[in-house]
């Protein structure tokens, strides 16, 4: 029996222009070579936000920066490998595992717009969803397991987020009840702070282990992540 109920896996499609498709694109599939052959059951879905450019990193496509032989995006996706569906919000790129792509609506509307677009692709029966930014080099499946466990232990909680060493919530490392997110989502999301919508939901705080909560925003962050991952 699954913690948050049944979430049927369904085939991924990609409505991006052909010129934007990754080189290993196959109709109906995106990401890893091959595709999903089996309809199974997943405990949770995931929405990974991977849009925009990194101004403090010279405008590069940050989530494609390599750390320890894998891109930041692939490292983030590894942490939610058990999720289905696995939705990435942003321009389609090549990824090591199959994902379903979507875009912010409106374009360049910010993280909240990205989250709303990602939620729109989840089946109605999805009970829980991991919400992550695509630039976390140190997340692992254990991170998500602990967040899910916290949510399971407190049925009245809307979500659970990772906190750093100062107990500051990391709004883009969390697991939420899908219904709570959908209910909280405002009609107008363009450039509205994500925290303004998520904080009133009073999520549980789950302490990060070591550098688990760190992301990559600056050249120094990137150097530290690479040093920690050989």
Tens-place pLDDT, residues 146-160: 999 999 999 999 999
Residue 1 clears pLDDT 70, i.e. is over it = no
Q: Is 135 annotated as a binding residue?
A: yes
pLDDT over 90 (residue 98): yes
User: In whole angstroms, what is the distance from residue 139 CA to residue 135 CA?
Assistant: 10
pTM: 0.81
Domain ranges of the chain: 25-228
Average pLDDT of the chain, as a whole number: 82
Annotated binding-site residue? 50: yes
CA dist., res. 169 & res. 219, Å (int) = 23
Count how many residues are written for the chain: 230
The conformation of residue 16, written as its DSSP 8-state character, comes to: S
Mean pLDDT of 20-34: 35
Q: Does position 36 have pLDDT exceeding 80, yes or no?
A: no
3-state helix, strand, coil in the chain (%, to 5): 30, 20, 50
Q: Is 166 annotated as a binding residue?
A: no
* Residue keyed to tokens 């397991």: 145
CATH class of 25-228: alpha beta
Using pLDDT thresholds of 50, 70 and 90, give the confidence band for residue 116: very high
Q: Per-residue DSSP letters for 44-89?
A: -EEEEE--S-BGGGTTB-GGG-EETTEEHHHHHHHHTTT-SSEEEE
Query: What pLDDT, on the 0 to 100 scale, is given for residue 52?
Result: 64
Q: Are strands 159-163 and 169-177 parallel, antiparallel or unpaired?
A: antiparallel
pLDDT of residue 122: 96
167 appears as a binding residue in the annotation: no
* Confidence check: pLDDT of 57 > 80: no
221 assigned ligand-binding residue: no
List pLDDT tens digits, range 161-195: 999 999 999 999 999 999 999 999 999 998 889 99
Q: CA–CA separation, 96 vs 88, rounded Å?
A: 13
pLDDT at 96: 94
Residues 6+ apart with CB under 8 A from 51: 89, 90, 91, 103, 104, 108, 114
What pLDDT band is residue 117 in, cutting at 50, 70 and 90? very high
């Amino acid at each position: 029996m699954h913690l948050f109920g049944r979430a049927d896996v369904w085939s991924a499609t990609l409505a991006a222009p052909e010129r934007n498709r990754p080189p290993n694109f196959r109709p109906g599939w995106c990401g890893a070579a091959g595709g999903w052959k089996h309809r199974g059951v997943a405990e949770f879905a995931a929405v990974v936000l991977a849009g925009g450019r990194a101004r403090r990193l010279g405008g590069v496509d940050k989530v494609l920066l390599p750390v320890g032989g894998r891109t930041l995006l692939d490292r983030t996706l590894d942490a939610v490998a058990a999720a289905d569906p696995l939705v990435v919000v942003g321009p389609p790129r090549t990824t090591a595992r199959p994902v379903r792509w979507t875009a912010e609506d409106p374009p360049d509307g910010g993280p909240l717009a990205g989250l709303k677009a990602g939620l729109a692709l989840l089946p109605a029966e999805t009970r829980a969803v991991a919400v992550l930014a695509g630039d976390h080099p140190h997340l692992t499946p254990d991170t998500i397991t602990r967040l899910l466990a916290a949510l399971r232990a407190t049925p009245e909680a809307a979500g659970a987020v990772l906190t750093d060493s100062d107990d500051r919530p990391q709004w883009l490392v969390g697991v939420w009840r899908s219904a709570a997110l959908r209910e909280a989502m405002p009609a107008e999301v363009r450039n509205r702070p994500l925290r303004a919508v998520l904080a009133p939901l009073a999520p549980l705080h789950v302490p990060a282990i070591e550098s688990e909560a760190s992301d990559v925003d600056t050249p120094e962050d990137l150097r530290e992540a690479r040093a920690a991952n050989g």
